[in-house]
Amino acid sequence: MKKKEKQIETSMIHSHQNNSQEYKGSLTTPIFQTSTFSFASAEEGAGRFAGEEEGFIYTRLGNPTVKVLEDRISTLERGERGLAFASGMAAVSAVLIALTKAGDHVLCSNGLYGCTYGLLRMFEDKYDISHDFSYMETEEELRKKITAKTSCIFIETPINPTMKVIDLSMVARVAKEYNIPVVVDNTFCTPYLQRPLEHGCDIVLHSATKYIGGHGDVIAGLVVGRKEFMDELAMSQQKDIGGVLSPFDSWLLLRGIKTLHVRMDRHSSNANKIAEKLSHHPKVKKLYYPGLENHDSSAIVQKQMKTGGGVLAFQLDGSKEEAQRFMNQLKLIQIAVSLGDAETLIQHPATMTHAVVPEEKRKEMGIGDSLIRLSVGLESVEDLWDDLELALNQI
C-alpha cells in the first residue's frame, strides 16, 4: 500500500524531525553550535572529503541543524533539495550567479525588491549581464521579451510592493519551450500559500527573515530546486562564496516553521479585513491586495494561492509628504521595513525599500510617491483599524 503523504500543516511540525538516540531523544532539533567536526581516523576524513563516506566536515559545508531545516523546506516546497543561506539576498545572489555568465540576459517580472534590482544593476555594470522587465500577462508578450541570451526568468509574485500576481503555470509553460529555468521569489506567500514548483517552475527562494522566521529575530534565505542544480549550487556558490546560515539561526527558523500555517491564516485573515476597510475609505485612492474578489488577477490567485497573504499596499489621495504625515500619526503600527512579523509594519517603498530604483523605473513599476506598504500582523483587527483610521483622518 502506498504511503499517504502528510498534509503540509503536519509536515511543518514533523518533517525530518530528529529525536533519535544519537540526539539523546531530544524532541527539539539540537543546535550543533560547532565550526568543525572531528574524524575518527585520517582515513574517515579523507573519505568524507572525497565524497565516499557520509558525515559532516565543517559547518560551512554542512551542519546537522542546518540540514534539518534544508530538508524541511524542501519537503514543504515539494522540491528535491533545499539550501540555507545567511540572508534572502545571499540566496538571490547565489541563484543568479549560478544561472548567468558574462553577456547573458535575465528577464524579470515588472517589479522587484529594491536590493534584487540593485544586484541586477551591478551585474550589468560589472559583467555585462543585462536584464529586462515584463508584465508577463500573456504568452505573446513573454515570447517577445525572451532573447537568445536569456539565461533565466526571475519572478516575484505577488510583486513587492504592488501585489500584482503572475500566472506561474503560463510563464513556466513558455519558458520550457526555450529551455529557460524559472526562478520564483516566494517570500510573500511561503509554501503554505503557494508552491511554485507544483506549477512547473524550477527554483523557489525565500527571504526566510520574513514569514518563515515570523518573529523578526533572524536574517536568512532559503532555496529549493532539483537535486542536480542544488548540488551544483551547494558546491559552488554556497561553499565558495560562503553566505551560509548559522546553526542557531537555523534552529530559530525550525521553531518558526512549526507555527507557520497558524500564523499565515491569521495574517491573511487580518489583511483581508483591513483591505476591505481601506478600500472604502475616502482618503485611499487605490488598494492593492490579491485576496479581494475584485483584484485584477483574482482568477490566477484562486488557481495558485491559498489566500491573499498578509501584505497589502495602498495609494493615498495625496503627496509624498502627506503619506509620510499619515505614517507619523500611527501609534500602534510600527514604521519599519521587512514583513511577516507578529507586529504590523508599515513602510514607504519610494523612499525606503525601493529607494535605489530610479524614479522613472519606480513609476513604471507602479511605485508612486503616495504608495504605502502594510505588513499586517497578528494583533486585533479592531485595534489595527482604530490606529489606521485615526491616522487617515489626520491628513
Q: Find the radius of gyration of the CA atoms of the chain.
A: 22
| Active site (annotated) includes residue 255 | no
Contacts for 228 with CB less than 8 Å, ≥ 6 apart: none
- From the candidates 72, 81, 104, 185, which is the catalytic residue? 185
> Whole-angstrom Cα distance, residue 344 to residue 271?
10
Q: How far apart are the first and last CA of the chain?
A: 65
| Active site (annotated) includes residue 60 | yes
Q: Is the N-terminal amide bond of 158 cis, ω within 30° of 0? A: yes
- From the candidates 48, 210, 362, 373, which is the catalytic residue? 210
| Active site (annotated) includes residue 231 | no
Is residue 84 left, alpha or beta, with left meaning phi > 0 and alpha meaning psi from -120 to 50?
Answer: beta
User: Do strands 221-225 and 203-207 pair parallel, antiparallel, or not at all (unpaired)?
Assistant: antiparallel
Supply 200's cell numbers.
512547473
Cβ proximity of 333 and 346 under 8 Å: yes
> Whole-angstrom Cα distance, residue 213 to residue 227?
24
> Whole-angstrom Cα distance, residue 226 to residue 382?
44
Rounded (5°) CA angle 152-130-163: 65
| Active site (annotated) includes residue 78 | no
> Whole-angstrom Cα distance, residue 343 to residue 341?
5
Q: 3-state DSSP call for residue 77?
A: coil
Cβ proximity of 161 and 373 under 8 Å: yes
- From the candidates 67, 81, 104, 113, which is the catalytic residue? 113
DSSP letter at 36 equals B
> Whole-angstrom Cα distance, residue 270 to residue 344?
10
- From the candidates 23, 58, 60, 258, which is the catalytic residue? 60
Cβ count within 10 A of residue 177: 11
Catalytic residues: 60, 113, 185, 210
